[in-house]
Amino acid sequence: MEPASEAELAEALAGAGSPVSVRGGGTRGIVAEGAALRYAGRGISLYEPGALTLVAQAGTPVAEIEAALAAEGQRLAFEVPDMRGLLGTEGESTIGGVVAANASGPRRVSVGAARDFLLGVRFVDGAGRVVQNGGRVMKNVTGYDLVKLMAGSHGTLGVLTEVSLKVLPKPEVAGVLSIDGLSVGDAVAAMSAALGTPWEVTAACHTDLSANDRPSTQLRIEGMQASVTYRLDRLKAHLAPFGEVETTLSDTHDWPWFRDVERFAGGEEDVWRLHCKPSDAPGLAARLPEGAKVMLDWGGGLIWAAVAPGTDLRATLGPFDGHATRVRGQGGSIARFHPEPPALAALTAGLRAKFDPRGILNRGLMA
């Protein structure tokens, strides 16, 4: 099903007699129980560069939005990752899919995730009711912060039809500091040291194998050229105890190697995303199976790990407080999402009962 309007979508969901698998552009390869349902409404409804706001239909391709923003010297600050290379998928990423997954790149360490730029939403819930919250609608009559709830809900509460976003000006330049050869422990120490300075680091990442076949730790700074140059120099001096620091300056802001996890693209291993406290990262990395490939995206304490197919890394967490998501991997009894603690699971079940009383939206996806 591909309803082209909100009214068609509401009618389809109200009359649905069986589960539906809610999808965006299909780039994340997530398939739930039921017939596929994709909202086809697309297009930018409102864009006010002076107010830094944009409203778009949920089916609008991210590329279309980024092009419109670039023409005005603006961007989506949360750095949308492109997972097609990692997951071997096709299609085009949609803004509704991005919001539903709360998909955010390395820049969230400084500006926040997609949900932090979400001003308002419109969606159709599992009963076929049209709901809107935030943005131009000032009163929240439901008692829920639906704007935040919909970000990361993966289509389990409703099908997004429209999103309102805050956008930001695009910086003039980006500077990158690189330190090669660090262990995971030293890399975490270096990134933590950098993030503790006033020099406004906008990304902090580490890979155990870079393009030059060595571990590489990289930090990004963005802004006006004079400011970035000054901050690069100050941060370089601050990080000197960790080894030789190289710096580069360019007008390119994207980091596909880290943002899109290109390190693991095209491989056959299972790929996991582990969330943990920064202080736990070295110990957790040491518990990974022999031969595991590792990347760290320190915007939120992320460890990306590629391991042999069928390996369940949740047991690796052991004494550490964190959770693990299997991003790539097929078959077996290993669930994609980490089991929720009982209290959170009860809260989630209550929300789903409220917005999807028949349990037809992406049934079993987050179980």
Sign, CA dihedral 323-327-332-333, equals positive
Type and span of the H or E element at 149: helix 146-150
The residue ranges of DSSP E strands in 208-342, in sequence order, are: 216-223, 246-250, 270-275, 293-297, 302-307, 323-328
**Residue 233: what pLDDT?**
97
Can you name the CATH fold of 6-170? 3.30.465
- For the segment(s) 261-328, the CATH number from 1.10.3470, 3.30.160, 3.30.70, 3.30.420 is 3.30.70
**Residue 135: what pLDDT?**
62
Structure tokens at 273: 């995303």
**Residue 299: what pLDDT?**
59
- Enter the DSSP assignment of 289: P
Q: Check residue 324 and give left, alpha or beta (phi > 0: left; psi -120 to 50: alpha).
A: beta
**Residue 337: what pLDDT?**
82
CA distance 273 to 261: 11
CB neighbour list of residue 249: distance below 8 Å, 6 or more residues apart: 173, 174, 175, 225, 228, 229, 232
CA distance 95 to 59: 7
| Contact criterion met (CB below 8 Å) for 166 and 212 | no
**Residue 196: what pLDDT?**
92
- At residue 186, φ and ψ (nearest 5 deg) are -70, -35
Q: Which stretches of the chain drop beneath a pLDDT of 70?
A: 135-144, 211-212, 299-300, 331, 366-367
- For the segment(s) 173-259, the CATH number from 3.20.20.70, 1.10.340.30, 3.30.70.920, 3.90.190.20 is 3.30.70.920
Nearest Cα to Cα of residue 6 among 101, 91, 122, 105: 122
**Residue 139: what pLDDT?**
41
**pTM of the predicted model as reported, rounded to 2 decimal places:** 0.89
